Structures are given as C-alpha cells and as structure tokens.
Amino acid sequence: MGLTFEMEPKTPFGGSLSTLAVIDVASSAIVRKPAALGWEEAAGLPLVGLTAKTTLSEPLLRLPPSEGDSQQTIVVLGGSSGVGQYVVQLGKAAGLRVIATCSATSEHFVRSLGADEVIDYTAGSVLESLRVVKPAQGFVTIVDCVGGTELLDDLPALLTPKTDSFPHGGSYTTIVGDKTDRSTLGGAMLLDTDRTMRARQDASQAGSLPYRYACILLDMNAEWLADLAARAADGRLKVPIDSTYAFEQAREAYERLGTARAKGKVVVEVQAAT
Ligand SMILES: NC(=O)c1ccc[n+]([C@@H]2O[C@H](COP(=O)([O-])OP(=O)(O)OC[C@H]3O[C@@H](n4cnc5c(N)ncnc54)[C@H](OP(=O)(O)O)[C@@H]3O)[C@@H](O)[C@H]2O)c1
C-alpha cells in the first residue's frame, strides 16, 4: 500500500484510478499492506491518515509542560470529515482530550471515534461554544479540516499562550485554508495565491504572531504509514468506508464524494479484490 503525490506528473500514469502506476519511491510513502488489513481499508487510509498524523506531530503540535493531571485539549473542526475522523482517533490514542465540531447527524459517529465533546456547528456559533469549553490553559491545537476564517481573530484567546516555559504557544493548523468553497483546491496549494494566508504563515514562522499558524500538506512519511496500517490491521484505528464502487461506476463514486456527506472513504475498485 502506498501514497504518491505528483504536483507535476512526469508520466502518463498519474492519478489513482488506474491498473498500472509508476511510482517514484524516493518521494512516496510505500509500505507493505498487513495481511489483516482489507484492500478497501488499505486504499482509504494513506491520504487521510497521514494528513491527520502530520497535524498531530512536531513541529505542528507541541505540548506544554503538563500541569497536574489536567489533560491537554485539542479541537478538531470537522470531526466527521475524511481527515477529521483520524485527527479525533489519533488525538485520543495520544492521550489528548478531543473536542470536535460536526452536525447533529454525525454526533454519534464522531463520539464513536473517541471525541470527548461534540459541538454542533449548525446549531450556533462555534466560537461561542469553544469559549465556553476552553480549558484555563487554552487549546494546545485547533486542527481545521473544513476551512474558513471564523476563528482566526480569536485565536490568541483560544490557544495556549506563549510563555517562558512554553515559548511555542498553541497552534492553528489548517488543511484547507481560508476558503470554504469545495470546487477549488485548498491546503498548501492556496498559499501560492492567497497573500493574506501567506503573510499570516510568514508572520507565524517569524514568531511575530501570539500563536502558530500553518496551512499544510501531508508529510509522506513511510514509518508513520506503516504504524497507521498496523493500528488499522489490529483494530486500534477505525478506517470508515462510506461506500465502494466498481470501476465502471467511477462517475457515481465522484458524485457521492461531491455531496460532502460521505462518512468515510469512497472507494473505487480498479480491479475486483481477490
Ligand atoms: N492538506 C492536505 O494534505 C489535505 C488532505 C486531505 C484533504 N484535504 C482537504 O480537506 C478538505 C476536506 O476534505 P474531506 O475529503 O476530508 O471532506 P469531507 O469528508 O467530504 O468533508 C465533509 C464533512 O465535513 C463536515 N463539515 C462540513 N462543513 C462543516 C463545518 N462548517 N464544520 C464542521 N464540519 C463540517 C461534514 O460534517 P456533517 O456531515 O457532520 O455536517 C461532512 O462530514 C478538502 O478541502 C480537502 O481538499 C487536505
């Protein structure tokens, strides 16, 4: 199993809906599929699992010195989204307290993944709800899997502040960026064209923001992928599959994806699994 990503495909074999792929092993995360892991799960795990793992790893997530037995708290915006499901699970597995946003219809699902608290983003202001549940030391990270700017002005009050004992401060990590429109590419691609986001990220890197901001692309880390696959194979990590389509139904698969209502991965069988 593996994940490849080519910004500028050099071969006619780019894309994942193909029976043959040319893979540059130097820039890809390639690991052996554990026997106990199904093919659908193996197909569904890499992109979202590695993106989630990236958001919860250094340098993006740094934990302040613990105070007593209080748990560090993270927020996942879009806990039911493709990546958000894994941020919730990996956050819990790392011993963090997880607060996730989703609609009421997804609450049971997101709690089943381990979320300690759920905020219904359709029922009122997410910012107001976060102000209410914020721990005294602030959130150590907010991982944004939906996009938008709603929380940005209030991050200094929401995130763990920079102090002498914790000079990093809390982080806001987005995999989407300021846009919410699903028809345009987001994530780190937006940094090339969006000056406001670029200026914010530059200011964060220069240390002149009171918190850390990053709009990121996943890290192609084969060790992480092997670990995620092992967890999925022995049941420590759930790999929700929304639906599976035959290759001939690829159009329907994309239509399902376009609804933004899929709970888990939409899988296309390029070749029927044997
Ligand atoms: N940077 C990267 O490396 C990277 C990697 C993967 C994906 N992405 C990006 O991540 C974005 C999400 O992709 P995806 O495939 O994960 O999406 P998705 O699974 O299709 O997301 C749909 C989910 O988003 C939830 N949602 C929609 N609006 C929300 C809001 N305002 N607050 C909270 N939840 C909300 C919905 O929850 P309910 O059903 O509960 O309403 C739905 O479950 C895309 O823009 C994609 O390009 C980036």
The strand pairing partners of 39, in sequence order, are none
Q: Is 175 in the pocket of ligand 1 (CB under 6 A)?
A: yes
Q: pLDDT at position 68, please?
A: 66
Ligand 1, closest atom to CA 180?
45
Set out the domains of the chain in order of their start, with CATH numbers.
2-50+220-269 (3.90.180.10), 60-215 (3.40.50.720)
Residue 97 structure tokens: 């307290």
Residue 217 CA: nearest ligand 1 atom is 3
- Ligand 1 pocket member 260 (CB < 6 A): yes
For position 151, what pLDDT does the model report? 98
Q: Is 77 in the pocket of ligand 1 (CB under 6 A)?
A: yes
Q: Is the CB of 191 under 6 A from ligand 1?
A: no
Ligand 1 neighbourhood includes 88 CB (under 6 angstroms): no
Q: Does any ligand 1 atom lie closer than 6 A to the CB of residue 106?
A: yes
Which is the closest atom of ligand 1 to the Cα of 101? 33
Q: d(Cα 189, Cα 8) in Å, to the nearest integer?
A: 13
Instruction: Give exposure, 136-153, as e/b (b: 16+ Cβ within 10 Å).
Output: ebbbbbbbbbbbeeebbe
Per-residue b or e along 234-249, where b marks 16 or more CB atoms closer than 10 Å to that residue's CB: eeebbbbbbbbbeeee
The pLDDT of residue 158 is 98
17-21, 58-62, 78-82, 210-214: range with lowest mean pLDDT: 17-21
The rounded distance, in Å, linking the Cα atoms of 48 and 69 is 31
Say how far apart CA 199 and CA 194 lie, in whole Å: 9
- How many residues make up the chain in this entry? 274
pLDDT digits 0-9 by tens, 136-163:
999 999 999 999 999 999 999 999 999 9
pLDDT surpassing 70 at residue 233: yes
Residues with Cβ within 8 Å of 195's Cβ and at least 6 positions away in sequence, in order, are none
Ligand 1 centroid–CA 232 distance in Å is 21
Token duo for residue 226: 């092997």
Q: Percent of the chain at pLDDT above 70?
A: 91
CA neighbours within 13 Å on the CB side: how many for 36? 11
- 75-110 pLDDT, tens digit each: 999 999 999 999 999 999 999 999 999 999 999 999
Q: Whose CA is nearest to atom 47 of ligand 1?
A: 186
Give the pair of three-digit tokens for residue 90. 């990996």
| Protein residue with least CA distance to atom 13, ligand 1 | 82
| pLDDT (tens digit per residue) in 161-181 | 999 999 999 999 999 999 877
Residue 274 banded pLDDT, cuts 50, 70, 90: low
Model confidence at 56: pLDDT above 70: yes
Helix (H), strand (E) at residue 73: strand 73-77
Distance CA 41, CA 240 (A): 8
Q: Which residues pair with 98 in a beta bridge?
A: 74
205: which residues sit within 8 A by CB, 6+ positions away?
none
**7: pLDDT confidence band, cut at 50, 70 and 90?**
very low
Q: Is the pLDDT of residue 11 over 70?
A: no
